[in-house]
Each structure stands twice: as structure tokens, then as C-alpha cells.
Amino acid sequence: MSLLQISEPGGSPTRRTARKRAAGIDLGTTNSLIATSIGGEVRTLADAGGAHLLPSVVHYGVDGVIGVGAAAKEQAAADPANVIASVKRALGKGFDELTGSGDYRQYRFDPARDTHAPAFLTAAGARDPAEVSADILRALARRAEDRIGEAIEGAVITVPAYFNDAQRQQTRYAASLADIKVLRLLNEPTAAAVAYGLDSKDHGNIIVFDLGGGTFDVSLLSLQKGVFEVLATGGDTALGGDDFDRLVADWLARQCGMEEIAPQDYPTMLRAANRARETLSVATQAELIWGGSRFSLSAAEFAKLAATLVRRTILACRRVLRDAGMETGDIDNVLLVGGATRMPLIRRAVAEYFGRNPLQDIDPDRVVAIGAGIQAEVLAGNQPADDFLLLDVNPLSLGIETMGELVEKIIHRNTAIPVSKSQEFTTYKDGQTAMALHVVQGERELVSECRSLARFSLQGIPPMVAGAAKVKVTFQVDADGLLSVFAEEASTGRKAEVLVKPSFGLDLDQVEKMLKESHDHARSDMAARALREARLEATRLMDAIDGAIGEDAELLEVDEHAAIDRAMDDLRKAMAGESAALIEERTEQLNNVSKDFAARRMNMTVGAALRGESIDAMESQSD
Ligand code: ADP
Ligand code: MG
């Protein structure tokens, strides 16, 4: 069996590749945004007119022209059947689900299309929800390219924490249609927490209160050692800023003495209501004009109108806490996300219920995109992962077997992935031409206590003295958790590699069991490791001395030779025992009694090289 030695315990730093242009995308129900790093800071990008929010609305014109955003929204009243809004709600839904819900009443669906992805029938042809989403994504990518003059190479796209597999799949599919490489789908609440830098904290419970245009999500995140877990989610997928607009529109209708709002008037009235409501976030009074008359709505009046809706949001928070078995006192941070949390009455209600001021320094409608952008920077390798938390981590340490059946951990447990780490190893024996690489997983110090993942070997190392060869071993875990191990010998460039899936055949219980065992055995493992290392060092020294005596016995004095033999015997006896300290002590002793012999050999070699001059002579010359 060929052997490994460790030559460089710290490991060499990962080689950085060139910067990659990465972006974070908040693909929202109402509005979408894109964020990227500019001058070292992740920011959302505005369109040419200065608007950061791109309304998630697409207009399919008769001429085949596709409009996205504000322009498309303008067409909603005139051409309702060809303007698709809130397409996010349709992602991953089946035909019956879509046609059955009131959300898409004004559209016709293509029955010929497969029922898994029903398509809207538009003037520009049938478009399924992923295709519509792709049009929004394309518009965002184009904006980024226009603004920064660079194409996006990869993006982190956010999704609601409650999104199921089908919805996530459809989001990925939309990105592929738009030619955007998905670095990762990230939960929206987690993105918000990342934007606030909460991932740098050790632990904590975070409530993310996200009130958007048409959806309300509350999430309870638990942060443990840099890893976020969604403990509970709640809210209401049919509650958002739009509902508050409806309240104001109804109020306006009452002021005008209308029994009912005519369907053709409703969009315009809603728009007036929306403007007034947004005004009330910064003013105590808002004006509405309808039918030539002016109406004034006060913040206090609006608060009365909205009281029931506000109460509903707080009840949802209470339910989420109850689901997680927590109380408001267990919460360390509350984050406000979504444009509608700009309403002071929402802020007040949240602050009052949780008994603390929510974090709100970051623009609530940009915070998710910013968090996604920060995450994208990390995943693209533009930011050292160690400084940032990541959401996906390596659950158990990955390492390699070294001499003495010890494990050298290369990627430690809880390291964010994707990650790549290298370390240099060397040969143990003179003339060694191959290395056996054994990849293991686990927290224990001894190979026998860890899980064996793969074995491979690197052949063709040129014969050299022990310790001279340099073999760089690189462990790389990609975003899907796949591990590649590469070994490369420096002088020849000879390579060998193996690919493994470390999670294969491993379930959570096993991970937990392995962690528990390592914890229980931490002390004895350390002792075992120390013992093996001491034995290894002792063997190495005795081998070296044996070799030296074989070559240069004539340089030894008689009693010196006897002393070395005695020290060797003593060391051998100690090695049969279990005390690392005793072995170390006797190794030291052997070192001492053989020191002069080693020095004499050294002098002789150097002297030979300097053609007869002794080191003493050389030193005196250089004075
Ligand atoms: P989504 O996540 O659903 O895409 P957003 O987070 O963009 O939605 O929120 C959109 C909602 O935020 C709209 O209902 C809009 O009226 C509301 N909103 C935006 N700005 C304000 C404001 N200043 N005051 C009150 N509501 C606002
Ligand atoms: Mg949102």
C-alpha cells in the first residue's frame, strides 16, 4: 500500500478564477427586481427611467410584440386578455387549478396543451406560466446588460419558502428558457435575512414579515451556526397591498354615493386608491379625485378601514409562532419585507405584537433582491465563502486517510457549498511512485471510525526521496453536493480523480448518529490520534537512523553506537505501550543521543560538496 504524508497542515488557498458576473433576481408576484455588485456593493438596478421595480406584467400584442413592466400594465384596461399579471401564482399549477381559481378569470387557456402546464391564449400565441415568467426574466437580464454592459453569467432566483417542488421546477425552467444559469433558488425570507447580514450571527430566531402586492408570507427562520432553517411558514396567498387598495376604492365609491362600482371603472378607481394609499405612508392625508369631485382620506380613517386586514396579518404571525412552539419573546429579529410593509399601520402593528422594532433600514421592496445578489456573489466565487453563511452546507467533514490510519479533514463539516479546498501531501518512503488515496467522511480521527467514500490511486510519481514529491489534493463540492477529488503531482502534472456523492445512502439519522459519536469520543479520539502520531514520528526517526548507520557506521564512536542502540530499544518498548507522552519522550532521547552523529554526517556531505572545506572553515572565511 502506498502512503500519504502531510507536508502542509494549513492547506494552500484555493485558486481564484476570474470574477463572474452574477445577479440576484426577485421574481415577484407584483414586481420583480435584479441586483448585482457594483463597486463592491450589491445594488438593485434601475431601468433607463430610474425605476428599480419592474412590474411583473407582460403584454402580448397582436403584432407579436412583447411588452414587459409598466408599459404592459398600461395595457391592462384596454387589452385585458393579452396582459398577464401575477403569473407567479400560476407557476406549477394544473389546468383545473388554474381555471378553477378566480385569479385568471379574464384569460382563455389552451386546452390542447398538456395539463401540467396549461397555457394562456394570447395574441402572440399560447404561453404557459414558465414562458411568461421567462419573458420577465429576459427583461431583467436585458436591463442588467444595458446598465452594466456585461452579460449575467449566473443568477440566484428567489422563491417563496412555501413553494413546492413543481413550483421550484417551473421557476428553474423559466430561467432556462431565458438562458439564465440558476446558481441557486433561494427562499425569499432567507434572502432578506442575508441582506441584513444576519447570517454572520451565530444563532437566532428571525421572523420575516413579507406583505407584497397580492401575497402575505410570514416565515420563522432559525439560524444555527450560519445555517438557516425555515421552522414555520404562514400567511395568506390572497392578501396583499391590493386588498388595501380595494378597501380604499370601496370607500371612494361610498363617498360618491355609488351602490356598486361599474366593472369598467374598477381598474381606474383602484389605481387612484393605490396612489392615495401609498401617499398615506408618508402623509397624514391623501386626495382622491373621482367624477370631478375631490375626496380626502385621512391616515386615521384609512387605519379604521384597514383594521381587519391588519389584524389578519398579526393572527398569521401568532399561528406561525404557535406552529413552531415559540413565543414572541423567543424572536431575536423581525424583518419587514414587501412594498406594502411601508404602511405605517403595518409597522406599528408588527412592532407592538413582537414587542420590538422591526429591522427596516433596507428598502422593503429591494431587500430580497439584494440578499439574492449577495448570495450570488458568494456562489459565483467572487466572495470568500468563509465570510458568509450559506444555506447549503456540507453536513459531515470530508477528508483523506494519511499515515497511521489517521484522517486529515479537508472540508470541514458545516462548510458552505459549493467549496473547493486543496492541500499538499508528500510521499512517505524513498522511491515511492504511487499514492493510495482514500476519501472518507465523518468527524472521527481514525479512518476505521469514519465512512469510506472512495479509493483511488495516483500512479507515475517520479522516484524521489521521501518527502520530496508534492501532490496537491483538491476536494471540490459543487452546489448539488457532489464531491470531486483530484490529485496532481507537481513535477509531472500526473493527475487522478474520483467523483462521489457523499450523501448517497446517508440519511439525517445517520448524520446525527455520526455527529453524536464524534462528540462522545472526542477525548479518546484525540488521545488515539496523538498516540498514532507519536508512533509514526518514532518509526520515521528509527528508520532514518537505521539507514544512516547502514551507510556511515564508521563515523560512530563505539560507546555512541551503544547509546543509540539502547535508546532505540527503549523507544521500541515504549511504542508497544499506549502512552503517547512516553513515546515522545523517548523519541526525543533518541534524537539527542544521535545528534552528534547526524551533525558529523551533515558536515561530511556539505564538506564533500565544498571540495574538502569544512563548515568551520567556511564560516570563519565569511566573517
Ligand atoms: P411582490 O413581492 O408581491 O411582488 P412588492 O413587494 O413589490 O410585491 O409589493 C407591492 C405592493 O407594495 C403593492 O401593493 C404596492 O402598493 C405596495 N407599496 C409599494 N410602495 C408602497 C408605499 N409607499 N406605501 C404603501 N404600499 C406600498
Ligand atoms: Mg416579494
Ion ligand 2 neighbours (CB, 5 A) are 28, 212
Helix axes 508-520, 522-552, angle to 10 degrees: 70
C-alpha of residue 261 to centroid of ligand 1, in Å: 24
Q: Using CA atoms, how far apart are residues 322 and 232, in angstroms rounded to an integer? A: 9
Q: Using CA atoms, how far apart are residues 207 and 329, in angstroms rounded to an integer? A: 12
Instruction: Note whether 70 and 58 are within 8 A (CB).
Output: no
C-alpha of residue 364 to centroid of ligand 2, in Å: 9
Phi/psi-derived region of residue 115, left when phi > 0, alpha when psi is between -120 and 50, beta in every other case: alpha
Instruction: Read off the pLDDT band of 511 (50, 70, 90).
Output: low
In one letter, which amino acid is 320? V
For residue 506, what pLDDT is reported?
Answer: 61
Looking from the CA of residue 56, the nearest atom of ligand 1 is 4
Taking the CA of 192 as reference, the closest ligand is 2
Query: Within 10 A of 116 (CB to CB), how many other CB atoms are there?
Result: 12
SS3 162: coil
**In what order do the strands lie in the sheet containing 333-337?**
227-236, 216-224, 203-211, 333-337
The closest alpha carbon to 372, from 397, 340, 407, 337, belongs to 337
| Residue extents of the structural domains in the chain | 22-391, 396-506, 524-609
Class of domain 396-506: mainly beta
Looking from the CA of residue 32, the nearest atom of ligand 1 is 4
CA 299 to chain centre: 42
Nearest CA to ligand 1 atom 25: 278
Report in angstroms the alpha-carbon separations of 274 from 236, 287, 487: 20, 11, 62
For 609, counting Cβ atoms within 10 Å of its Cβ (0-12 exposed, 13-18 middle, 19+ buried), the class is exposed
Looking from the CA of residue 337, the nearest atom of ligand 1 is 6
Q: Using CA atoms, how far apart are residues 96 and 486, in angstroms rounded to an integer? A: 51
For residue 3, what pLDDT is reported?
Answer: 34
C-alpha of residue 580 to centroid of ligand 2, in Å: 60
Name the CATH superfamily, with its identifier, for domain 22-391. Answer: ATPase, nucleotide binding domain (3.30.420.40)
Looking from the CA of residue 364, the nearest atom of ligand 1 is 6
Choice from 91, 342, 370 to test ligand 1 binding pocket (greatest atom count within 8 A of CB): 342
Instruction: Note whether 397 and 411 are within 8 A (CB).
Output: yes
pLDDT surpassing 50 at residue 154: yes
Question: Of these residues, 128, 188, 445, 533, which one is catalytic?
Answer: 188
Instruction: Note whether 600 and 616 are within 8 A (CB).
Output: no
Q: Is 509 a catalytic residue?
A: no
Query: Would the pTM of this model clear 0.85, i.e. be above it?
Result: no
Nearest CA to ligand 1 atom 10: 213
Q: Is 449 a catalytic residue?
A: no
Q: Using CA atoms, how far apart are residues 533 and 567, in angstroms rounded to an integer? A: 19
- The mean per-residue pLDDT over the stretch 230-242 comes to 88
As for ligand 1, residues whose beta carbon falls within 6 Å of it are 28-31, 53, 212-215, 240-242, 274, 277-278, 281, 338-340, 342-343, 365
Nearest CA to ligand 1 atom 5: 212
C-alpha of residue 460 to centroid of ligand 1, in Å: 64
C-alpha of residue 58 to centroid of ligand 2, in Å: 17
For residue 102, what pLDDT is reported?
Answer: 72
The DSSP line for 170-215 is HHHHHHHHTT--EEEEEEHHHHHHHHTTGGGSSEEEEEEEEE-SS-
For residue 621, what pLDDT is reported?
Answer: 42
The closest alpha carbon to 7, from 510, 476, 413, 472, belongs to 472
Answer positive or negative: Cα dihedral of 184, 187, 191, 193. Answer: negative
Nearest CA to ligand 1 atom 23: 278
The DSSP line for 547-573 is HHHHHHGGGS-HHHHHHHHHHHHHHHH
Taking the CA of 365 as reference, the closest ligand is 1
Q: Is 26 a catalytic residue?
A: yes
For residue 612, what pLDDT is reported?
Answer: 45
Instruction: Read off the pLDDT band of 7 (50, 70, 90).
Output: very low
pLDDT surpassing 80 at residue 15: no
SS3 224: strand
β-pairing, 182-187 vs 154-159, is parallel
Instruction: Note whether 5 and 425 are within 8 A (CB).
Output: yes
Looking from the CA of residue 281, the nearest atom of ligand 1 is 24
The closest alpha carbon to 329, from 350, 366, 310, 356, belongs to 356
Question: Of these residues, 210, 236, 242, 445, which one is catalytic?
Answer: 210
Q: Of 11-20, 157-166, 337-346, 367-376, where does mean pLDDT reach its minimum?
A: 11-20
* ∠ Cα 153 157 158 (to 5°): 160
Nearest CA to ligand 1 atom 8: 212
Q: Of 298-302, 400-404, 414-418, where does mean pLDDT reach its minimum?
A: 414-418
Residue with cell 421552522: 231
Class of domain 524-609: mainly alpha
Query: Within 10 A of 112 (CB to CB), how many other CB atoms are there?
Result: 8
Q: Using CA atoms, how far apart are residues 180 and 155, in angstroms rounded to an integer? A: 7
Backbone angles phi, psi at 411, to 5 degrees: -115, 115
For residue 468, what pLDDT is reported?
Answer: 87
Looking from the CA of residue 280, the nearest atom of ligand 1 is 24
- The mean per-residue pLDDT over the stretch 585-590 comes to 92
What are the E-state strand segments in 351-434? 398-402, 406-411, 419-426
Instruction: Note whether 425 and 411 are within 8 A (CB).
Output: no
pLDDT surpassing 80 at residue 73: yes
Q: Is 210 a catalytic residue?
A: yes
C-alpha of residue 247 to centroid of ligand 2, in Å: 21
Q: Using CA atoms, how far apart are residues 274 and 406, in angstroms rounded to an integer? A: 67
Higher-scoring residue by pLDDT: 17, 332: 332
Question: Of these residues, 73, 88, 93, 421, which one is catalytic?
Answer: 88
C-alpha of residue 212 to centroid of ligand 2, in Å: 5
